[in-house]
Amino acid sequence: MTATIPFVKPVSQIRLAPGSTVTIPNVSWLEFEFILQELGENRSARLVYSQGTLEVMVPLPEHEKPKELISDIIKTLLRATGRRYEPFGSTTFKREGTAGVEPDASFYIQNYQRMINRRRLQADDPPPDLAIETDVTSKTTLEAYEEIGVPEVWVYDSGRLTIYLLRNNLYVKSDVSPTFPGISIVEIIPNAIERAWQVGSVQALEEIEALVDNS
């Protein structure tokens, strides 16, 4: 009698073209942790894990400009309003056993002092106050953020910025960011990104800085 032995190809050997997404169901938490270790930190792929489903995404190069510009605008606005922060980039945020997500950018604002000396996250660390995603429409992504408890998530997609606020453990859309009340974030961000494609990121950011200085 011949036994059939399943062959599982390591995720690290999967080759995805930029802009591709692969969804893998029925992944245990231990398997997710192993995959994170296998892939390491120096990789182009980003992972999202929620309720047993793993998504592996490889962003397009054109996603980098919006991501970097949005991050720079956030830093500019925080400095202009006299607030300090700690940027945590695409750090892997996890809730043990249920969810893991790697945002395009993330910021600690309320808890920045607590996170100043963190080289690696600890189990009792709070989630970031603000996370940024560019060109992501995945349901799994928002579910992971809900599980982790990130209070505010911005998603930029196809020239539009959507703000999601966590209310009773579920996200609701908002036209206003509580991080920047009184600032029309949903207008400023898309306009700045469009300007960046026309005149470059540096000039687009300078225009935002001038707008802030004159307000």
Domain assignment present for 5: no
* Element of type H or E holding 148: helix 139-148
Specify if 15 maps to a domain: no
Which phi and psi (to 5°) does residue 205 adopt? Answer: -70, -40
Q: Let me know if residue 23 belongs to a domain.
A: no
Please check whether residue 104 lies inside any domain of the structure.
Answer: yes
Q: Tell me how many domains the chain contains.
A: 1
The mean pLDDT of 101-114, rounded to a whole number, is 96
pLDDT digits (tens, 9 = 90+) for 117-145: 999 999 899 999 999 998 765 666 899 99
Spatial separation of the C-alpha atoms in residues 45 and 42, rounded to whole Å: 9
34 lies in a domain?
A: no
Q: In which domain, by residue range, is 139 found?
A: 60-213
* Dist. CA 93–CA 101, nearest whole Å: 5
Q: What is the pLDDT of residue 185?
A: 96
Residue 100 lies in a domain: yes
For residue 15, how many other CB atoms are within 10 A of its CB? 7
How far out from the chain centre does Cα 113 lie? 21
- What band does 11 get if pLDDT is binned at 50, 70 and 90? low
In a 3-state reduction of DSSP, which class is residue 174? strand
Q: What is the pLDDT of residues 160-182, one digit of tens each?
A: 999 999 999 999 999 999 999 98
- The verdict on residue 163 lying in a domain is yes
CATH number (domain holding residue 82): 3.90.1570.10
Task: Indicate if the pLDDT at residue 14 is higher than 80.
Answer: no
Does any domain span residue 21? no
Structure tokens at 170: 């579920």
Mean pLDDT across 8-31: 79
